[in-house]
Amino acid sequence: MIKLKNNIRCLVTGANGFLGSHLIDQLKKKKIKIYITSSKQNDLRDFYQVEKIFKKYKPQIVFNLAAKVGGILDNKNKPADYFFDNIQIISNTFELAKVYKVKKIINVGAGCGYPLNAREPLKEEDIFNGVPQKESIAYSTAKKMLFTAAEAYKRQYGLKSNVIIPSNLYGEYDNFNLKESHVIPALVRKFYESTVNNRKEVQIWGDGSAKRDFIYARDVAKSLIYLCEYSNDINPVNICTGSQVSIKQIAQKLSKISGFKGKVVWEKNMPEGQKSRSFSISKLKKVLKNRHKKFTSIEDGLRKTYEWFQANYKKNIRLWKI
């Protein structure tokens, strides 16, 4: 057990990213020293830059959230970048955690790493039993090396770690760039801009039948802290809600939240990924001791995300681009 108190030194990689921003919000409630890295400050693909970070801060706990992430289109166009960058980040972080005698490293994997034809609900022990979907195979294969690294460094050096597999994250601080974003931030932006500009329609890829287990990022951040403090199981655990929502349902909810009065047009010839991705929640129930019952509902999470986007639109529009 490692309690986050008494000025313990915590390093958060990817701290300015989506999940990292939520984690920092939660860690600030603890009496600890928080050190952060981000792609703007450091190139975590460069071993010597990462070494300088560890040498300077001497972290006792590392939350390893850094990754190159993006939506279906960007993954299809830049597979080599997604593979190389993520392999380098993982390798550098684990090696230097070993060198600087970090007490524990908490890692975030990727749900898209599950095999394309895996039986649902997706169980943690099946993560290596097949090939992931082709649209993001380079990214997801690289991210699966987190599990290999966790096992290897535990076996050889005794490095403690956790690896989580979040289902489909959404929430405040997400990337709302339409060329790079995942489905919920893309739809939040489309419905907001269509509403304020009085557009007659919103165009959405696919036919709306695809289903996902969407989880609010703040709930995942809280789960990371709990696992850090109370779990020493190096095997992966799904962080999910255990239920699915279709893209059509998401569109309907956002249409209501935004007050959009126009028509939704489904672009059925465009890619939408796999039709269904449900995650097993069995292990999570045991690990979190039923704390999953307090997870945010999809209605509340979408409303909070939309309201945050609305409030921050003018400030961040250049960052999110057109």
Q: Please tell me the distance from the alpha carbon of residue 273 to that of residue 72, in angstroms, as a whole number.
A: 8
Domain membership of residue 100 (yes or no) is yes
Domain membership of residue 258 (yes or no) is no
Q: Which domain holds residue 226?
A: 9-173+214-241+279-295
Task: Give the confidence band of 51 by pLDDT, cuts at 50, 70, 90.
Answer: very high
Does the pTM exceed 0.75?
A: yes
Please check whether residue 201 is in contact with residue 262, taking contact to mean a CB–CB distance below 8 angstroms.
yes
Indicate if the pLDDT at residue 21 is higher than 90. Answer: yes
Q: Is 17 helix (H, G, I), strand (E, B) or coil?
A: coil
Task: Name the domain count of the chain.
Answer: 1
CATH number, residue 111: 3.40.50.720
Domain membership of residue 252 (yes or no) is no
Q: pLDDT tens digit string along 24-46?
A: 999 999 989 999 987 778 899 99
Domain membership of residue 53 (yes or no) is yes
Domain membership of residue 142 (yes or no) is yes
pLDDT at 276: 83
Please check whether residue 118 is in contact with residue 129, taking contact to mean a CB–CB distance below 8 angstroms.
yes
Domain membership of residue 156 (yes or no) is yes
Within 13 Å, how many C-alpha atoms sit on residue 297's CB side? Answer: 4
Q: pLDDT tens digit string along 156-203?
A: 999 999 999 999 999 999 989 887 788 999 999 999 999 999 999 999
Residue type at 172? E
Residues 6 or more apart from 268 whose CB is under 8 A from it? 206, 207
Domain membership of residue 188 (yes or no) is no
Q: What share of the chain is helix, strand, coil (3-state, %, to 5)?
A: 45, 15, 35
Q: Please tell me the distance from the alpha carbon of residue 27 to that of residue 32, in angstroms, as a whole number.
A: 8
Q: pLDDT tens digit string along 210-260?
A: 999 999 999 999 999 999 999 887 789 999 999 999 999 999 999 999 999
Task: Give the confidence band of 315 by pLDDT, cuts at 50, 70, 90.
Answer: confident
Domain membership of residue 136 (yes or no) is yes
Number of Cβ atoms within 10 Å of the Cβ of 219: 22
Task: Kindly state the average pLDDT of the residues 138-159.
Answer: 95
The DSSP string of 91-125 is: HHHHHHHHHTT-SEEEEE--GGGS-TTPPSSB-GG
What φ, ψ does residue 13 adopt, rounded to 5°? -85, 145
